[in-house]
Amino acid sequence: MPKKYHIDFKPTLPRYTPLGKSGVVDFREGCQRCGQCAKKACIYNVYDKRCFDSGQMTDSIDYLCKNCFRCVQQCKKGLLNKSVNPEYIKMGDAYWTPEIISTNWTQAETGKIPVSGAGYGGPFSGPGFDSMWTDMSEIVRPTRDGIHGREYINTSVDIGRKLEKLQFGAAGELLSSPPPLLELPLPLVMATPSFGHVTEKVRLTLAMAAARLGTFFIVAAEQYDKSLAHYKQHIIPRISQESYPSFKGKLSGHRAVEGIYSKKMRPLWQEIKQNHPEMLISIKLPLDGNELPAVAELALQGAEIIHLCADEHGNEIGAATPRFIKDMVRRAHLHLVERSLRDQVTLLASGGIAMAEHVAKIIICGADAAVMDIPLLLAFECRLCKNCEKKRPCPVTIDSIEPAWGTQRVLNLMSAWRNQLLEILGAMGMREVRRLRGEAGRAMFFEDLEADIFGKIFGERI
């Protein structure tokens, strides 16, 4: 058995005090000095670590508290009360919620699966990925444990084009010439976020993290700095017709390259493949409602990697009533299956990948691997305030992060996400993430259940 893949995580404190969901209102004047203070009962030692950040007018208890309410319940005089932090509520938007932001912060800091305290308080179902539930039928078997070492659960995936069949000679020799294929130790690729103060330091940090993780970092050719050349084995430059002439001489040494889908780009891909036959070519295809014929066309023409891209909220691009990425990737996957092309090409999916569970869910929908971007900013303490888009200073100075600190934060986040993927695979009784691809029977979809149960009574949902 090969050596287990491991991500070296270690606690990496934030530079700024994170915003927490709630604070504690402490009416000290009513304290009776009973000697059995509820604050001492905190199992997370929150009150011992409590401090006030005058620069941000923030109390550290806001984010250290796990909301178990033990202190509130045990205070004999009822002097402790929880209060919601208004600054926390204002973070993000309807999709990138404060809960998602703070969860990724915690994982980037600790490298561990976060503690939920009072438990899950959200809705049973919701839009997007929340309308999909994964199979946990094997969760009662403690031996299915890839995190603590009792079993080996493989999270590696292959990217590249696969042969439809193998041909052998009379003596058993292989006559087929296999195309180039790369193995990633986890089904995650990193990409430059579409916004943010992404400076040369930030891009260097992400390249260093990709090298440590053994995966790829996608960066536009226009943003390719000299400092990235050392990590070219783990960088996928995204080129265009405009950037190709100046970047042409820098392609050597890269294992993959990406470009945005266009029929005019085909001669360019042929030229790259002729000059660099071992280089994989990824084609970024926007999910705009026209992707099905394009997916089939690319697969028939010999495409190696197709990168299906939704917007930052996981929605269909340019549609008045957009569909969600999980439904569109599922359609593209089944479209290729119907034409017996699916096993020949690799599908990457990006847009709206905000949490670890989304990786497993998008793979179930048919992707081979997910592309993460905005969570990388969250690892650097981003609050999604969008000041960067308004040409305002970043409140957490992402543009000036130290690469060593940022790299460790990304490693921590990836470690926490991978551990959660292992938990899901273990609960399903799976030892191989490749088996999860397209396994829709391993999940329940709210829309399908609603149609089966209530559709015959009430008709189709409008």
For residue 262, pLDDT over 50 is answered with yes
Q: Where along the chain do its domains lie?
A: 20-90, 157-451
- What residues are paired with 53 via a beta bridge? 58
Q: How far apart are the first and last CA of the chain?
A: 52
pLDDT of residue 340: 93
Tell me which fold the domain 157-451 belongs to: TIM Barrel (3.20.20)
Question: Per-residue confidence at 146, pLDDT binned at 50, 70, 90?
Answer: low
Q: Tell me which residue has tokens 């109390």.
A: 59
Largest Cα separation within the chain, whole Å, is 92
Beta carbons of 341 and 299 less than 8 angstroms apart: yes
Nearest C-alpha neighbor of 325 from the set 128, 76, 37:
128
pLDDT at 143 over 60: no
Q: Which amino acid is at 201?
A: K
Q: Is the pTM of this model over 0.85?
A: yes
Q: Which one has a higher pLDDT value, 378 or 135?
A: 378
Q: Give tens-digit pLDDT for 328-365.
A: 999 999 999 999 999 999 999 999 999 999 999 999 99
Question: Which of 259, 235, 380, 274 lies closest to 309 in space, CA to CA?
Answer: 259
Arithmetic mean of pLDDT over the chain: 88
- Rg of the chain, C-alpha, whole Å: 24
Burial of 301 (0-12, 13-18, 19+ CB in 10 A): exposed
Cβ neighbours around 132 below 10 Å, total: 25
Listed residue (49, 41, 46) closest to 22, CA to CA: 46
Tokens at 460, concatenated: 């189709």
Q: How far apart are CA 58 and CA 67, in angstroms?
A: 17
- For 371, the 3-state DSSP assignment is strand
DSSP string over 287-352 = -SS-HHHHHHHHHHTT-SEEEEE--TTSBPTT-SSPPBHHHHHHHHHHHHHHTT-GGGSEEEEESS
Q: What is the dotted CATH code of the domain comprising 20-90? A: 3.30.70
Burial class (CB in 10 A: 0-12, 13-18, 19+), 108: buried
Distance CA 21, CA 8 (A): 29
CB atoms within 10 A of CB 148: 10
What is the C-alpha to C-alpha distance for residues 117 and 357, in angstroms, rounded to an integer?
19
8 A C-beta contact, residue 68 and residue 45 = no
Instruction: Report whether pLDDT(55) > 50.
Output: no
How high is the pLDDT of residue 57? 42
How many degrees, rounded to 5, is the angle at CA 130 between CA 361 and CA 461?
Answer: 110
Q: How far apart are CA 49 and CA 46, in angstroms?
A: 5
- What is the average pLDDT across 313-341? 96
Neighbours of 378 (CB within 10 A): 25
What is the C-alpha separation between 286 and 226, in angstroms, rounded? 29
For residue 56, the model assigns a pLDDT of 47
